[in-house]
Chains A and B, each alone.
Chain A
Amino acid sequence: MNKQYIFVWEPETQKERPIYNTLVKIINEKSLTERFEVIRSPFIGFTTDGPIVRIMPENVIYTRFKPEDVEAIIDAHLKWKRLDKFILSYDNKHLPIPEKDTTSKQFKIVLRNIGYMDPESIDEYIMRGGYKALEKAIFDLNPDKIITEMKASGVRGRGGAGFPAGLKWELTKKEPGPQKYVICNADEGDPGAYMDRSVLEGDPHSVIEGMMIGGYTIGADQGYIYIRAEYPLAIERLEKAIAAAKEKGLLGRNILGSDFSFEIELRWGAGAFVCGEETALIASIEGKRGNPRPRPPFPSVSGLWGKPTFINNVETWANVPVIIEKGGAWFSSIGTEKSKGTKVFAVTGKVTNPGLVEVPMGTTIREIVFDICGGIQHNKKFKAVQTGGPSGGVIPEKYLDMPIDYESLQSIGSIMGSGGMIVMDEDDCMVDVNKFYLQFSVDESCGKCSPCRIGGKQILQLLEKITKGSGEKEDIEKIRSISLAMQKASLCALGQTTPNPVISALQYFEDEYVMHIEDKKCLTGKCRDLVEYVIITDKCIGCGLCAVRCPVKCITGEKRKPYLIDQKACIKCGECYNVCKFSAVKRG
């Protein structure tokens, strides 16, 4: 009855899982297996530099402790006490039903179960209210009522474009049957984003339940989850979840004794970013090269094997059970006027506490980056945030306090995207970052249409030219006109959005581009051909540390006298700049 659950997350680098193994060992030795259950959990958040342990139902979170401290923690909890020394957070208010957490500014709907239950146990999912929404959908509601709820909720597609989900439900239902398909797009391709991976690893049943409600509503009996092959643990957990649901009679024929039947199969991606585009994804499930095709017809009319297909991404599906259970009106009370509910962001880059956050729509970037994630690492200065990955744009400092939703992001030249949020500091060069994104999009272009295939390559070459110091004044204009052609003429979203990062950087950081082109300078030192390291003689005390650390030994001088860098031999690695404790090395 009074069972306690210990959820353990250890950094992926700790393959031996020292904390997990110690916990299991001690609990076995003390014959406490009836009392404690140890569960490996996906990333819980907070910090990445040590193990994190959450003990439920007390909801005490520990971090920064060693295997030898485990016994003391267990002893304390055996007496229903806490060990204050390693506590990171303690909060007994947690409830299984999502509620706004006023202290952390987060609001967990999609991440409601993550880190609170064993993702491999269907019983725990059910214990936490899982599959109730499905029951409600089948027995208390009917497809039309479900669509009314979905429309009332105002939820929009979380894959990036933000298409009103309720409308999609209605359109797909309207198409004549008999054969229709449901697809979950789990091809999370944005480099620097892992929201979907965490949901699939931490709460696979919520996605399955969402897809089943979708299938019931539109009249489909077959679902596919298209998942990246790079996510083996997510695949394993989904397979287990599907098998467990089948065993319980939640998947298969005549679900819960109704006349609704539904099956789900997995299909693996194979490392092609373009397959996140829905028509390319469908081609890939069909076993073909993942080439996109023009729309219309939209997949809701003619999708997988030419049949009406209902496709949503992981986060959208994970929202569905909560919307059905708590009602569309409840959901629409969260968020902004046009963007309802919450959004999960994967905050990474130069931020103190990188991790997943789920916040109501309308939260500001400042709240996310500074209040929740602890600000910029090493006290550096904030420069910009990139949302939407290679299809998105940058948000400069002046918009830190703008409430974010689909419209506001679009109005400043970025997009919501799937939820990647890359934080950049003063050491990051915009031209260099743009070059990175262009390189990515050029690699991933399928080559079917020429605006994307040729245009992307051309912009990339111009950027390379600029970062090498051969940029010309006209280059910016050239980039703009190629971008326009790509946006207007590319076949699919990949080509249409490839120029976005560059256009948005030109909007806010044109000075930086101009400096690269006209002054041939890169202040961050990222473009090595455009940087020079010089020792400021007034500041140099002659300690000689830079000379010791210089890998090519091009710094010379006498102790206690200013040193000198031989510019011809310098490889611009920046080591001297980083090691100098007296700011005597100038970069520029």
Chain B
Amino acid sequence: MMLEKETVKLDQGLLDFMDKWKDKPGKEIMILHKIQEIYGYVPRKIAMEVSVQLDIPLAKIYGIITFYHLFKLKQPGKNMISVCMGTACYLKGGNDIIQEIENILGVGVNNTSDDGLFSLEIVRCVGCCGLAPVMVINGRTFGNLQKTELPKILGEYSKAGEVGVNA
């Protein structure tokens, strides 16, 4: 395969992190977190390079990635919408919020819109149940959310997103 011949240069931050952790037992998950922090997901090339450098079988790395919900194999959209589906949010209408977002953006759960602007995912409890229902966009929390607020909120992000694409 061509891919394997390609040399991949790892991010310096990742190299430093790997250097710090290389002799610690149980480092695999922490290193995957770092990769995802830098790249937004775990690109296959990077996983292969890390596998070689740290002498961890690629199968083991993929075994971990596919076991844990947090690790992603696909590049997420520019804006990550995480709708909480903890019990409190479910009872207070989290499902309606998801349906409304799907209607507005035409993007299903665990998918990215065609223009790459939005990804939609369900998360299990972000731990602010007092504010249910809750949605998080790029780390910003929206609480006591109502369906009717969604067009405005999403509109702001899609505008900001377009500016970002053009720039």
Please name all residues of chain A whose beta carbon is closer than 8 Å to the beta carbon of B92 when the two chains form the complex. 349-350
The residue in chain B whose Cβ has the minimal distance to the Cβ of A195 is: B127
- 1/0 per residue, CB under 8 A from B, across A106-149: the answer is 00000000000000000000000000000000000000000000
Binding stretch for chain B, among A264-272, A489-497, A557-565: A264-272
Please name all residues of chain A whose beta carbon is closer than 8 Å to the beta carbon of B29 when the two chains form the complex. 267-268, 270, 284, 287
Q: How far is the CA of A143 from the CA of B12 in the complex (A)?
A: 46
On whether A436 and B87 interact (CB within 8 A), knowing A270-B68, A285-B26, A346-B129, the answer reads yes
- 1/0 per residue, CB under 8 A from A, across B128-149: the answer is 1111100000001111100000
Q: Does A164 contact B (CB under 8 A)?
A: no
Binding stretch for chain B, among A19-27, A91-99, A184-192, A457-465: A184-192
Q: Does A273 contact B (CB under 8 A)?
A: yes
Q: Is the CB of B143 within 8 A of A13?
A: yes
Number of interface residues of B (CB under 8 A): 37
* CB < 8 Å neighbour of A440 from B63, B124, B128, B130: B124
Please name all residues of chain B whose beta carbon is closer than 8 Å to the beta carbon of A15 when the two chains form the complex. 140-141
On whether A191 and B125 interact (CB within 8 A), knowing A229-B70, A287-B64, A348-B87, the answer reads yes
Please name all residues of chain A whose beta carbon is closer than 8 Å to the beta carbon of B67 when the two chains form the complex. 272, 289-290, 446
Q: Is the CB of B91 within 8 A of A194?
A: no
Please name all residues of chain A whose beta carbon is closer than 8 Å to the beta carbon of B127 when the two chains form the complex. 188, 194, 197, 230-231
Q: Does B164 contact A (CB under 8 A)?
A: no
On whether A305 and B129 interact (CB within 8 A), knowing A191-B85, A289-B63, A348-B88, the answer reads no
The winner among A48, A49, A270 for most chain B CB atoms within 10 A is A270
Q: How far, in Å, is A377 (CB) from chain B's closest CB?
A: 10
Q: How far is the CA of A191 from the CA of B124 in the complex (A)?
A: 6
Q: How many A-B residue pairs have CB under 8 A?
A: 125
Number of interface residues of A (CB under 8 A): 50
Q: Is the CB of A268 within 8 A of B131?
A: no
Q: How far is the CA of A270 from the CA of B69 in the complex (A)?
A: 7
Q: Is the CB of B64 within 8 A of A289?
A: yes
Q: Does A354 contact B (CB under 8 A)?
A: yes
Please name all residues of chain A whose beta carbon is closer than 8 Å to the beta carbon of B124 when the two chains form the complex. 189, 191, 271, 273, 440
The winner among A15, A188, A305, A422 for most chain B CB atoms within 10 A is A422
Q: Is the CB of A48 within 8 A of B130?
A: yes
Q: Does B98 contact A (CB under 8 A)?
A: no
Q: Does B15 contact A (CB under 8 A)?
A: no
* CB < 8 Å neighbour of A192 from B27, B32, B87: B87
Please name all residues of chain B whose beta carbon is closer than 8 Å to the beta carbon of A270 when the two chains form the complex. 29, 32-33, 64, 68-71
On whether A271 and B125 interact (CB within 8 A), knowing A305-B25, A348-B130, A348-B132, the answer reads no
Q: Is the CB of B25 within 8 A of A287?
A: yes
Q: Does B86 contact A (CB under 8 A)?
A: yes
Q: Does B48 contact A (CB under 8 A)?
A: no
Please name all residues of chain B whose beta carbon is closer than 8 Å to the beta carbon of A255 when the two chains form the complex. none
- 1/0 per residue, CB under 8 A from B, across A259-280: the answer is 0000000011111110000000
Q: How far is the CA of A43 from the CA of B130 in the complex (A)?
A: 10
Q: How far is the CA of A75 from the CA of B132 in the complex (A)?
A: 36
The residue in chain A whose Cβ has the minimal distance to the Cβ of B28 is: A287
Q: Does B41 contact A (CB under 8 A)?
A: no
Q: How far, in Å, is B37 (CB) from chain A's closest CB?
A: 10
Please name all residues of chain B whose beta carbon is closer than 8 Å to the beta carbon of A389 when the two chains form the complex. 87
Q: Is the CB of A350 within 8 A of B26?
A: no
Q: Does B90 contact A (CB under 8 A)?
A: yes
Q: Does B30 contact A (CB under 8 A)?
A: yes
Q: Is the CB of B131 within 8 A of A12?
A: yes
* CB < 8 Å neighbour of B123 from A230, A273, A286, A420: A230
Q: How far, in Å, is A454 (CB) from chain B's closest CB?
A: 19
Q: Is the CB of A191 within 8 A of B27?
A: no
Q: How far is the CA of A420 from the CA of B127 in the complex (A)?
A: 11
Q: Does B14 contact A (CB under 8 A)?
A: no
Q: Is the CB of B129 within 8 A of A286?
A: no
Q: How far is the CA of A234 from the CA of B9 in the complex (A)?
A: 33
Q: How far, in Å, is B30 (CB) from chain A's closest CB?
A: 6
Please name all residues of chain B whose beta carbon is closer than 8 Å to the beta carbon of A290 when the two chains form the complex. 67-68
Q: How far, in Å, is A447 (CB) from chain B's closest CB?
A: 9
Q: Does B126 contact A (CB under 8 A)?
A: yes
Please name all residues of chain A whose beta carbon is closer than 8 Å to the beta carbon of B128 when the two chains form the complex. 12, 194
- 1/0 per residue, CB under 8 A from B, across A355-394: the answer is 1000000000000000000000000000000100100000
Q: Is the CB of A192 within 8 A of B143?
A: no
Please name all residues of chain A whose beta carbon is closer than 8 Å to the beta carbon of B144 when the two chains form the complex. 13, 48-49
The residue in chain A whose Cβ has the minimal distance to the Cβ of B30 is: A268
Please name all residues of chain B whose beta carbon is closer than 8 Å to the beta carbon of A355 when the two chains form the complex. 130
Q: Is the CB of B91 within 8 A of A287?
A: no
Q: How far, in Å, is A389 (CB) from chain B's closest CB?
A: 7
Q: Is the CB of B26 within 8 A of A286?
A: yes
Q: Is the CB of A349 within 8 A of B91?
A: yes
The winner among B29, B68, B92 for most chain A CB atoms within 10 A is B29
On whether A229 and B91 interact (CB within 8 A), knowing A271-B124, A348-B132, the answer reads no
Q: Is the CB of A11 within 8 A of B131?
A: yes
On whether A13 and B141 interact (CB within 8 A), knowing A188-B127, A272-B69, the answer reads yes
Identify which of residues 2-50 in chain A touch chain B, using a CB-to-CB cut-off of 8 Å.
11-13, 15, 43, 48-49
The winner among A15, A193, A389, A428 for most chain B CB atoms within 10 A is A193
Q: Is the CB of A428 within 8 A of B91?
A: yes
Please name all residues of chain B whose beta carbon is closer than 8 Å to the beta carbon of A48 when the two chains form the complex. 130-131, 143-144
Q: How far is the CA of A285 from the CA of B30 in the complex (A)?
A: 9
Q: How far, in Å, is A82 (CB) from chain B's closest CB?
A: 26
The residue in chain A whose Cβ has the minimal distance to the Cβ of B60 is: A288
Beyond contacts A12-B131, A192-B86: 4 other A-B pairs, Cβ-Cβ < 8 A, are A194-B129, A270-B64, A305-B25, A446-B67
Which A-B residue pairs are the 9 nearest by beta carbons?
A191-B86, A270-B68, A192-B87, A271-B69, A287-B28, A348-B129, A271-B70, A287-B26, A348-B88
| Chain B interface residues (CB < 8 Å from chain A) | 25-30, 32-33, 63-64, 67-71, 85-88, 90-92, 123-132, 140-144
What are 22 of the A-B contact pairs (CB < 8 Å)?
A13-B131, A48-B143, A190-B125, A191-B87, A191-B124, A192-B86, A194-B129, A230-B123, A268-B29, A270-B32, A271-B69, A271-B70, A272-B69, A286-B26, A346-B129, A349-B87, A349-B132, A350-B91, A354-B129, A386-B87, A428-B91, A433-B87
